[in-house]
Amino acid sequence: MNEKLRLKNVHKSFGAQKVCHGIDLTVNEGETICLIGASGSGKSTLLRCINLLEDIDEGMILLDGADISKPGLDPQPVRQRIGIVFQSFNLFPHMTAVENVMLAPRRVHGLSRAELRPRVETLFERFGLADRMQSYPDQLSGGQQQRVAIVRALAMEPEIMLLDEITSALDPELVGEVLDVLRQLRQQGMTMILATHEMKFAREVADKVCFLDKGVILEEGPAEQIFGAPEKNRTRDFLRRVL
Amino acid sequence: MLTPRQDYNRRARRRSIFIAAASTAAAISLLLLLIPLSPGWAAVQKSFFNAEIFAKSFPVLLRAFVLDVAIFLWCAPLIALWGLAIALCRDARAPALYPLRLFGALYTDVFRGVPVILIVYLIGFGVPGLGLPRPWNSPYIWGSLALILTYSAYVAEIFRSGIDSVHASQRSAAASLGLSDWHVMRDVVLPQAVRRVAPANMNMLIALQKDVALLSFIGPVEILRQAGVYKSLYANFTPYVAAAVIFLVVTIPATRFADRMLARQQKQRS
Ligand SMILES: Nc1ncnc2c1ncn2[C@@H]1O[C@H](COP(=O)(O)OP(=O)(O)OP(=O)(O)O)[C@@H](O)[C@H]1O
Ligand SMILES: [Mg+2]
């Protein structure tokens, strides 16, 4: 399998607070990685670092073998290749769903609305949003907003998707529809890293589960191993609390 | 058929409308009764509320007011554009753009720190004093420029507060899609910011509409100056009252409109 993304000894702190304390992680092409860990363990921060929304203090992030964390590197081309979906949706409230989705391809790739139309329509249909294209975000349910946010990231045809607890703001009955979307993506071979509290889901889709604790990946491995026979005490404690 | 609750609400509403109307009528009658009793009323009425002079000056003042409106109409869009430009200067993050940032800060400090009338005098008399050829010595141009420069300093601060009020997560969401800083600003931050500060800017427009009259000090015969001419002609202040009435006819509805806009926005956000 091809190595897609590799984190080497990544350190990140906010002021005096150290959030990442030497993170190593390898993600192969088409793999789904689940980050689990207590609240505040740095899952969101790690995803934001990979998307270059935060600069790392030390270490390296390699995308297809090239260092994307080099200081001074233009982050835009990298961000175009790595999509991120935020826990709080962050749709643009002044634009309709379809405008939200078309904005980046129009501005970045210089495509016209007409050129984008067929592809975007297909995406909306695929995610059960065909009749919601002209709605504004505040006219959509939480689950619909979250799916629009996923479509918005996908419209840039990223090579990797980072998904930050994308179901945690949703009612239980909406969680299902968003998780279905992830299953679809996985089947299509998208490389994904997701931070999640949905242990059941992590167990089902993850090729590898990483347990984040105190700024390091304390334990990682196939889902059956992490959930079935965790080696470290802290992992066991954490799982006992959340399961 | 009304439910008991609706019926009660309707009666309560009628009752409060009645009480409000009655007490307003009482207050106004009291004023109308008392004011004429004051010792100087006869003189004041003659020199401020002379019906004949009012009728004579009103049409001419109205025509002069067209000039105020015209000055307002060409200043307002320029103020919006220049104010926005200054706001963007103040927001420039890149080190190479530091001079712009400095300029923006200085600009708003200076023009908010000096009374409008002084700027009008300095630019309105100062620049034509350079002996520029026609039409570049026109007080219209330089008077308008003075208003534009001053008002855009305030408007810039309003825009900036709007830009700051757009949550950082909107910027990261836009940046994460690979948009450039400029597109993040233009497509995501600004449209939200401009909408949010629309009521505040509406209030600036109302203030501008009134301050156009300051140009009367440097030449253009707009409504205030025209009223001054009539005041001297008739040795009576009624033309000023007529001018005030004309201003109010424009500014009161505009103020109400701005308030409504603000109220609607606050309701939306809660
Ligand atoms: N911009 C920031 N400035 C300062 N501290 C921050 C910032 N972002 C995150 N932190 C801190 O970093 C730590 C890790 O935060 P992070 O959001 O990555 O945790 P998380 O694992 O995603 O938690 P959760 O499961 O609650 O989402 C927290 O203690 C948080 O307070
Ligand atoms: Mg988080």
* Alpha-helical segments (H) within chain B: 4-34, 41-48, 51-91, 98-113, 116-126, 139-165, 168-176, 181-183, 190-196, 198-211, 223-234, 238-269
- Count CB pairs under 8 A between chains A and B: 58
Q: What is the DSSP letter of B188?
A: I
> Do residue B234 and residue B185 come from a single domain?
yes
**How many Å apart are CA A213 and CA A20, to the nearest integer?**
9
- Which amino acid would we find at residue B2? L
Do B145 and B75 fall within a single domain? Answer: yes
- For A113-153, write each residue's pLDDT tens digit: 999 999 999 999 988 889 999 999 999 988 889 899 999 99
Same structural domain, B79 and B172: yes
The 10s digit of each residue's pLDDT in A3-48 is 899 999 999 999 889 999 999 999 999 999 999 998 889 999 999 9
> Same structural domain for residues B1 and B131?
no
A208 vs A217: CA distance, rounded Å:
12
* Contact of B175 with B168, CB cutoff 8 Å: no
**What pLDDT is attached to residue B127?**
82
Whether residue B120 is contained in a domain is answered as: yes
- Looking at the domain that runs over A3-242, which CATH code has it been given? 3.40.50.300
Query: Distance between CA atoms of A219 and A213, rounded to whole angstroms?
Result: 9
Given pLDDT bands bounded at 50, 70 and 90, which one contains residue A61? very high
Asked if residue B74 and residue B9 are part of one domain, the reply reads no
- Is residue B166 located within the same domain as residue B262? yes
Of B222, B232, B235, B241, which Cα lies nearest the Cα of B54?
Answer: B241
What is residue A112's DSSP assignment? -
Whether residue B45 is contained in a domain is answered as no
Ligand 1 binding residues, C-beta < 6 A? A 14, 19, 37, 39-45, 165
Q: Which of the residues A92, A102, A166 would you substitute to probe the B interface, choosing the one with the greatest number of B C-beta atoms within 10 Å?
A: A92
Which residue lies with its CA nearest to atom 24 of ligand 1? A39
d(CA A92, CA A101): 10
Q: Is residue B211 part of a domain?
A: yes
Same domain, B33 and B78: no
Residue B44 located in a structural domain: no
pLDDT of A70-79, one tens digit each?
Answer: 888 899 999 9
Q: Could you list the residue range(s) of the whole structural domain that residue B3 is in?
A: 1-37
Q: Which band of pLDDT confidence, cut at 50, 70 and 90, is reported for residue B270?
A: low
Same domain, residue pair B32 and B81: no
- Are B158 and B262 in the same domain? yes
Q: Does B85 touch chain A (CB under 8 A)?
A: no
Measure the CA–CA gap between A104 and A118, rounded to whole angstroms.
16
Evaluate if residue A93 carries a pLDDT over 90: yes
For range B154-164, the mean pLDDT: 95
What's the domain count of chain B?
Answer: 2
| Two tokens, residue A106 | 């129009």
Q: Is B115 found in the same domain as B9?
A: no
Residue B43 lies in a domain: no
List pLDDT tens digits, range B16-69.
Answer: 999 999 999 999 999 988 888 888 888 888 888 888 888 888 898 888 888 888
Please state the domain extents for chain A: 3-242
Q: What is the mean pLDDT of residues B242-254?
A: 89
| Domain of residue B232, CATH code | 1.10.3720.10
Q: Which of A47, A48, A57 is nearest to A17 (CA)?
A: A57
Q: Which residues contact B178 (CB under 8 A, 6 or more apart)?
A: A76, A77, A79, A80, A104, A108, A156
Mind listing the pLDDT tens digit for each residue in A96-112? 999 999 999 999 999 99
Same structural domain for residues B234 and B118? yes
pLDDT at A230: 86
pTM of the full structure: 0.82
B192 vs A contacts (CB less than 8 Å): 92-94
Task: Please indicate, yes or no, whether residues B30 and B138 belong to a single structural domain of this protein.
Answer: no
Strand partners, A21: A11
Establish if B42 belongs to a structural domain: no
Average confidence score pLDDT of chain B: 89
